[in-house]
Structure 1
Amino acid sequence: MASSAKKRAVDVATNPEDSGDSSDDDSQGDDGLSVDDSEASDEELNEEVIVDFEAHAIAHTDFNGIKKLLQQLFRKAHVNISDLTDIIIQQNHIGSVVRQAEVPEDSDGEDNPDEVFGFISMLNLTERKGVQCVEEVKDLIMDQCEKVGSGAVTEQLEQILNDSGKSVGLLLSERFINVPPQIALPLHRQLQEEMAEAQRTNKPSGKCHYCLMISKTCKEPTKTIPARGGAAPTDDLHFVNAEEEFFYEHATLKFSYSVQDEADTCLSGRWSYDDVPMKPFRTVMVIPADSMPAIMEKLKEYLTV
């Protein structure tokens, strides 16, 4: 599919200085800048800039951008991110990448028109059973569920992942932390249309009975995720991708596990320098496919630009 057929433009307020993972360099502060640089550029960084983003079909040139975004999700987990990125690119009939619509003519040359600010895709884990990186994702989820979930939750998850009659799709929706959630609405709309078309034409990942998500979440340091069997209340969890709370509300299976030891850092709320660092978690959710229309209505209600 031609890229032009998949363009979705969204005007958002963003800060060009923040277009990276907040934890790329442990020698820097939580804001991704050294202390001296932060103090010297406070006034500049507080400036709000309107940026147009467009969604394009995924291409081979997006490999490094997609891989970088997957790394901020999986961190140090034993998952072959390169192979997972290859599958996402090969399956380019489903999914989109987000790029800046136009690079200003007076740019200093540092802006890359092909830079990936975000992406969305759906991988059918059931169809790709036996593929090493897919099995690594499933093993990661099962291992963490066994550590923090009850026996009933673990058994239910295992049944869902191993039921060849009801396929499970891994929904991957990642973006830089400074890209607002409004961009998610056109991306999810496009994804649903592409999945419907894939199902009609018998292409991979067209039909999924369940949607599996791994969300980046945070909690205040004074609060903890229930030890076993309990999903954290939504009020206690802060979703880095804010719209994923709507998926959480419809999930029939959910649990959270800490990634504190993986040197992950995230901030809740608006991106600023006085935010309180929070303990990072990953929240796994299984959502029945028939809940997607209700979720899309929520996204439309809260994210319409």
Structure 2
Amino acid sequence: MASSAKRRQLDPAVEESRGSGTEEESGDSSEESEPEIHQEVQVDFEAHAISDNDHNGIKRLLQQLFLKASINIIELANIIIQQNHVGSVIRQAEILDGSNEEDDEDDIFGFITAINLTERKGMEPVEQIKELVLSQCETHHQGTAEQLDKILNDNSKPVSFLISERFINVPPQISLPLHKQLQTELMDARKTNKSCGKSHYYLMISKTCMEAGKKKVPQQKGKVKEELRFINAEEEFFYEQSVITYSYSVQEESDSSLSGRWSFDDVPMKPLRTVMLIPADRINAIMNKLEEYLTI
């Protein structure tokens, strides 16, 4: 059943930069390239409650995160929609010119939510997410694989999967009100004894990249600013507060139009995914950082 809309205009005049983002859209390199356009388009966004109409948009955004990983994206999107009292989707604010069409109702620019992995233990996409992060941890960060496995399977300390996905040119400033709203909803869920609001840790998988010539993914947090680049810039603050973090390459999976060809300042970048485990009691510190750096 579709939920009623909770409409809240985000920071006004948020800019969507075109032609100056960090992603070059993949295309036919044999064709002559058109002149590059640099312009700023003023776009107002609104946050809405997640509804049935958002299934395709959420699925598309999940695909850009997981790429070719063995995750049941359709069922994961279903879980997100069923849990519609937590989380928001981003849509462009209505333009009152009478031209709105129903065909655009499922167009979303991003979404945020948190799924309690401990509560939903045994569900296919939940077990697939756990298998993905554990297998990559064993491959790239063996020293903490056993620790992560123990945390993910400790029913007394629930772990929630925090997902914040958006399209590349939606600026990071939009993440501040979204994270604030999510934390408010999780707090309300705790007050009403809903299990989705009870988390001891948050697990995140962040889209990152590093210079293509680098042979080893950095593991020391002190090197994050000079080696790891976060596609969602605000997620660096979550990285700084994490107790477990490691990265793995998705270069062989990144041949779809969703991933594009990444570059920073014309330097080729290797696409990665960075896994982070953040204690729930550090979220307030992260929110303070977001407030400090992302307030317009």
For normalisation by structure 1, the TM-score amounts to: 0.86
In the superposition, relative to structure 1, how do residues 217 and 168 fare at CA in structure 2: closer, same or farther (>3 Å)? Answer: same
> Aligned match of 1:161 in 135, 142, 152?
152
Give the whole-Å Cα distance in 2 for the aligned partners of 1:16 and 1:115: 18
1:171 counterpart residue number: 162
Provide the aligned C-alpha RMSD in A: 2.8
> Aligned match of 1:267 in 262, 269, 276?
262
In the superposition, relative to structure 1, how do residues 128 and 210 fare at CA in structure 2: closer, same or farther (>3 Å)? Answer: same
In the superposition, relative to structure 1, how do residues 287 and 138 fare at CA in structure 2: closer, same or farther (>3 Å)? Answer: same
Give the whole-Å Cα distance in 1 for the aligned partners of 2:45 and 2:222: 34
Give the whole-Å Cα distance in 2 for the aligned partners of 1:292 and 1:101: 29
> What is the letter of the counterpart of residue 241 of structure 2?
H
**2:268 aligns to what SS in structure 1?**
coil
* 2:7–2:46 Cα contact (<8 Å) kept: no
Structure 1 position 12, deviation (Å) = 1.6
After superposition, residues 1-305 of structure 1 pair within 5 angstroms as: 2-4=4-6, 6-15=8-17, 30-34=24-28, 39-40=33-34, 42=36, 45-103=37-95, 105=97, 112=104, 114-151=106-143, 153-226=144-217, 233-234=223-224, 235-263=226-254, 264-267=259-262, 275-305=266-296
In the superposition, relative to structure 1, how do residues 100 and 36 fare at CA in structure 2: closer, same or farther (>3 Å)? Answer: farther
Instruction: Judge which range, 239-248 or 203-212, deviates more.
Output: 203-212
* 1:265–1:277 Cα contact (<8 Å) kept: no
Segments of 5+ residues of structure 1 without an aligned counterpart are 23-29
Structure 1 position 260, deviation (Å) = 0.9
Instruction: Tell me how many residue pairs correspond in the alignment.
Output: 289
> What is the letter of the counterpart of residue 296 of structure 1?
M
Give the whole-Å Cα distance in 1 for the aligned partners of 2:80 and 2:210: 30
Segments of 5+ residues of structure 2 without an aligned counterpart are none
Structure 1 position 175, deviation (Å) = 0.2
Give the whole-Å Cα distance in 2 for the aligned partners of 1:186 and 1:303: 10
Give the whole-Å Cα distance in 1 for the aligned partners of 2:42 and 2:7: 24
Instruction: Judge which range, 3-12 or 280-289, deviates more.
Output: 3-12
> What is the letter of the counterpart of residue 5 of structure 2?
S
For normalisation by structure 2, the TM-score amounts to: 0.88
1:25 counterpart residue number: none
**1:216 aligns to what SS in structure 2?**
strand
In the superposition, relative to structure 1, how do residues 37 and 66 fare at CA in structure 2: closer, same or farther (>3 Å)? Answer: farther
**2:168 aligns to what SS in structure 1?**
coil
Give the whole-Å Cα distance in 1 for the aligned partners of 2:260 and 2:26: 10
> What is the letter of the counterpart of residue 125 of structure 1?
L
**1:267 aligns to what SS in structure 2?**
strand
Query: CA offsets per residue over residues 96-152 of structure 1, 9 Å max, x none?
Result: 00000024749798993541100000000000001111000000000000000123x
Q: Which one has a larger percent strand, Structure 1 or Structure 2?
A: 2
Give the whole-Å Cα distance in 1 for the aligned partners of 2:4 and 2:20: 30
Query: CA offsets per residue over residues 16-47 of structure 1, 9 Å max, x none?
Result: 6899x96xxxxxxx3345558884353xx312
**2:179 aligns to what SS in structure 1?**
helix
* 2:200–2:279 Cα contact (<8 Å) kept: yes
* 1:231–1:255 Cα contact (<8 Å) kept: no
Structure 1 position 292, deviation (Å) = 0.4
* 1:102–1:113 Cα contact (<8 Å) kept: no
> What is the letter of the counterpart of residue 303 of structure 1?
L
